[in-house]
């Protein structure tokens, strides 16, 4: 009988080392992003909710699925965000029994504030000689990831840039 863990270890030896380095980089960036979020009194899951709601109103269950968290956790986040005035509940036009959550002006401002803080932090990671190349690589990665997401369709890099310019 083959032990699944042993076969995984054997397969791992064939993994491109760059993928491991990419994963480590994501973890390091995430830690730094959490620090910035804490300073701005927001959590990463709350930021994700704001990001998802920026695309339009959603039900609480949809947010939980998109954010990959359980519904009770989402309920707590939603209650806090609503109390802070970042999101608002509105009756669902298609189903009078339920509500959809939408972004408020204060929520949009918090979203923009966090993204601008991230944008101010990221240049500190870039070497002057490789900065442009690195930004191009991140833009391409963002495009690839967004184009593969369910329910949203592709988002062009230019749209991402325009979106941040508008705030």
**How far, in Å, CA of 29 to CA of 21, rounded?**
12
Q: Could you tell me what percent of the chain has a pLDDT over 70? A: 79
Across the chain, how many H-helices and E-strands are there?
Answer: 8, 2
pLDDT tens string 44-73? 999 999 999 999 999 999 999 988 899 999
Confidence of residue 95 (pLDDT cuts 50, 70, 90): confident
- For 102, phi then psi, to 5°, come to -135, 160
**How far, in Å, CA of 44 to CA of 26, rounded?**
14
Where in the chain are the domains? 18-125
**Sign (positive or negative) of CA dihedral 132, 136, 141, 147:** positive
Structure tokens at 114: 């966090």
Mean pLDDT of the chain: 81
78-87, 88-97, 129-138: least confidently modelled range: 129-138
Instruction: Decide which of 98 and 153 is more confident.
Output: 98
Place of tokens 């927001």: 42
Q: Of 53, 63, 26, 48, whose CA–CA distance to 115 is shortest?
A: 48
Structure tokens at 98: 């339920």
The answer, as to whether pTM is greater than 0.85, is: no
Q: List the CATH code of the domain at 18-125.
A: 1.10.10.10
Instruction: Decide which of 89 and 147 is more confident.
Output: 89
Confidence of residue 35 (pLDDT cuts 50, 70, 90): very high
CB of 58 closer than 8 Å to CB of 101: yes
Confidence of residue 159 (pLDDT cuts 50, 70, 90): very low
DSSP helix/strand/coil, 124 = helix
Q: Is the pLDDT of residue 34 over 80?
A: yes
CB of 108 closer than 8 Å to CB of 54: yes
CB of 53 closer than 8 Å to CB of 102: yes
Tell me which H or E stretch contains 89. strand 87-91
- The pLDDT score that the predictor gives to residue 78 is 95
């Amino acid at each position: 009988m083959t032990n699944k863990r042993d076969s995984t270890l054997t397969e791992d030896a064939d993994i491109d080392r760059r993928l491991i380095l990419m994963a480590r980089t994501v973890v390091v960036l995430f830690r730094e992003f959490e620090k910035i979020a804490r300073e701005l009194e927001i959590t990463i899951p709350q930021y994700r909710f704001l990001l998802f709601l920026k695309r339009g109103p959603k039900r609480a269950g949809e947010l939980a699925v998109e954010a990959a968290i359980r519904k009770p956790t989402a309920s707590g986040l939603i209650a806090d965000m609503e109390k802070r005035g970042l999101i608002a509940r509105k009756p669902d036009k298609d189903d009078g029994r339920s509500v959809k959550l939408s972004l408020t002006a204060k929520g949009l401002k918090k979203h923009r504030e966090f993204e601008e803080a991230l944008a101010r932090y990221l240049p500190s990671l870039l070497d002057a000689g490789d900065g442009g190349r690195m930004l191009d690589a991140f833009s391409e990665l963002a495009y690839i990831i967004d184009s593969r997401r369910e329910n949203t369709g592709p988002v062009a890099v230019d749209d991402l840039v325009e979106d941040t310019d508008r705030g």
